[in-house]
Amino acid sequence: MTMSPIEAELLRNAMSSVADEMYIALMKSAYSTNIKERRDHSTAFFDAHGRVVVQGESMPLHLASMLGLVEVVLEKFGQNGVFPGDMFLSNDPYVGRGSHLPDVAIAAPVFKDGRLVMFVCNIAHHADIGGMSPGSMAGGMTEIYQEGLRIPPIRLFKDGKLIQDVMDMILLNVRVPEERLGDYNAQIASNQLGLRRCNALIEKWGEDRISAGCDAIVNAVARRTRAGIAELNDGIYRFEDVVDDDGLSRTDIKIKVAITVAGEEIKFDFDGTDPQVEGNNNVTMAGLQASCLYCLKVLLDPDCPQNHGMLDPVTIEAPEGSIVNASFPAASAARAQTGQRIVDVILGALAPAYPEKIIAAGTGANTSAAFFGRSRAGKYYVYLETLGGGAGGRSYKDGTDGVQVHMTNTSNLPIEALETEYPLMIERYELVEDSGGAGKFRGGLGLRRDYRPLDHKTTFSGQGERFVNQPWGIFGGKPGGTGRFAVLSDNGEENRLANKPSALRVGPDGIISVITAGAGGFGNPSERSQDNLQMDCESGKISRENLIKDYPQFDPD
């Protein structure tokens, strides 16, 4: 059976609406702030062959954690071993083809008259998955066994009923199990909603037309991706950049790419990239795929849906055992830090081909802060958040201040939500003056957030990048400011911490300060307009001293 383009688009929009409804249901049902407020979750549809057909427009990096999930389920159980009422969950980067352990995916098959038609799936970042450090994201972890509970693709539901032994085993291995259970129940409810909506779609469209439609949707995305690549000038484009460190012994870890464009096809070759590291910045192939596909989407066709069709004209090569294609049992909890740098090198390489679309380097990190403790009321908590920074200057506009960039599309948690749920007080929350690189269009500013534990000692762990190597400017723009972690005493002394601190105990007499990197500027600073300079001066985003230093046309009077 074939399907017309109009019918395929109608079906895709129907599936997208269901994926969005599943996304909202998960968000509104979740217990943790990381999901219900920061929206660190995604939803997707797969066809009966395990291909992603529709992904909700949420977290690009989550494509990595889901891309191979259903394929692995089908490889392990076979289509004849999957039944109505099943649900499967997994989080492992190696046997489950995910990207890191805190991202737990749950998939449910959809049947019609005993025939497997598709799968609905969601994924959520759990604030803790066990392991040696609260939050499961701290630096200093050297193998995946230390990072938390590894879950291969296994059944969570059979015949529509929860397998309680599996859930008991998971909850036994995590901190604050009540909150984790609430988040798992939200994921289950989201899939159950998706199953009901999918059954209605099948009743309306018919199972054969649904299957034909899935093929048509994937093929349409493949054609759109090929058409976008064809607009690039053929050639080889190169760039390299570095990750600050791995939290242990390695610094300035090189990521190198050569991008070959030939007609409708593109090849990403990461030969020359440094070997995988002892710390947990390693990326598996799934994360590398997601990073490359993200760049293609935003540059070639931002409105193009995300699915398996994007892979059709793309070849990705990377040395096995490198930091961008790590081998078991490499630690990968902080894979987003390296994923952001993969995006930086791809955008840097393609700048000559797309000068009007490429932005300067942004904050280049998924700066994370994790807190664990026991409140005065005796209640344990784990709080994990990631903070935004600057987005790079563009060919037509300044970079955005204080946002998540590229792969990590989550929000900054409002102070009111944080202080309501956790025994932490935010003493300072602001944009960082002078952290945006100078340019015709300046880079966005980083953030500063200062936390004081209330009536207890908290255990703090963090993950920072662009704390040493500045985010680069482009086409004459200047680099942005770096970030840092520090502990402040009440007498004003600042003790700077490592870039990836682990299990630091801080009491009410100390303040944990998290400062994120800004972003690079775009274009020669001497071309910045007087109106923009006046706004910079009045807003306080750039100090008068730096305005005078970086912008010769600025009139301080």
Cβ-Cβ contacts under 8 Å for 26 (sequence gap 6 or more):
35, 41, 43, 122, 124, 186, 187, 189, 190
- 């019609």: which residue's tokens? 112
Structure tokens given for 547? 């305005």
Q: pLDDT tens across 415-434, in order?
A: 999 999 999 999 999 999 99
- Least confident window among 133-142, 164-173, 189-198: 133-142
Kindly indicate the confidence band of residue 241, based on its pLDDT and cuts at 50, 70 and 90: very high
Task: Tell me what percent of the residues of the chain surpass a pLDDT of 70.
Answer: 98
Give whichever of 3-12, 36-45, 70-79, 473-482 has the largest mean pLDDT: 473-482
Cβ-Cβ contacts under 8 Å for 462 (sequence gap 6 or more):
138, 139, 367, 368, 369, 370, 485, 497, 500, 501, 514
Model pLDDT, residue 134 = 87
Q: Residue 530's CB: how many other CB atoms inside 10 A?
A: 11
Model pLDDT, residue 543 = 94
**Closest listed residue to residue 363, CA positions, set 394, 332, 340:** 340
Is the per-residue pLDDT at 64 higher than 70? no
Write out the CATH class of domain 5-222: alpha beta
The rounded distance, in Å, linking the Cα atoms of 174 and 169 is 9
Over residues 385-409, the mean pLDDT reads 92
pTM exceeds 0.85, yes or no: yes
Domain locations in the chain as residue ranges: 5-222, 359-557
Q: How many helices (H) and strands (E) does the chain have?
A: 12, 20
SS3 state of residue 297:
helix
Q: pLDDT tens across 254-268, in order?
A: 999 999 999 999 999
Model pLDDT, residue 408 = 79
How high does pLDDT run on average in the chain?
Answer: 93
Kindly indicate the confidence band of residue 61, based on its pLDDT and cuts at 50, 70 and 90: low
Phi, psi of 543 (to 5 degrees): -70, 155
Q: pLDDT tens across 173-227, in order?
A: 999 999 999 999 999 999 999 999 999 999 999 999 999 999 999 999 999 999 9
The rounded distance, in Å, linking the Cα atoms of 13 and 71 is 24
139 or 4, which is more confident: 4
Kindly indicate the confidence band of residue 484, based on its pLDDT and cuts at 50, 70 and 90: very high
The rounded distance, in Å, linking the Cα atoms of 342 and 238 is 12
Over residues 381-399, the mean pLDDT reads 95
The rounded distance, in Å, linking the Cα atoms of 388 and 62 is 18
Model pLDDT, residue 192 = 98
Q: In what order do the strands lie in the sheet with 314-317?
A: 235-245, 251-262, 265-269, 314-317
Model pLDDT, residue 511 = 96
- Per the CB < 8 A criterion, the answer to whether 131 and 149 are in contact is yes
Over residues 71-76, the mean pLDDT reads 92
Phi, psi of 419 (to 5 degrees): -70, -25
Is the per-residue pLDDT at 557 higher than 80? no
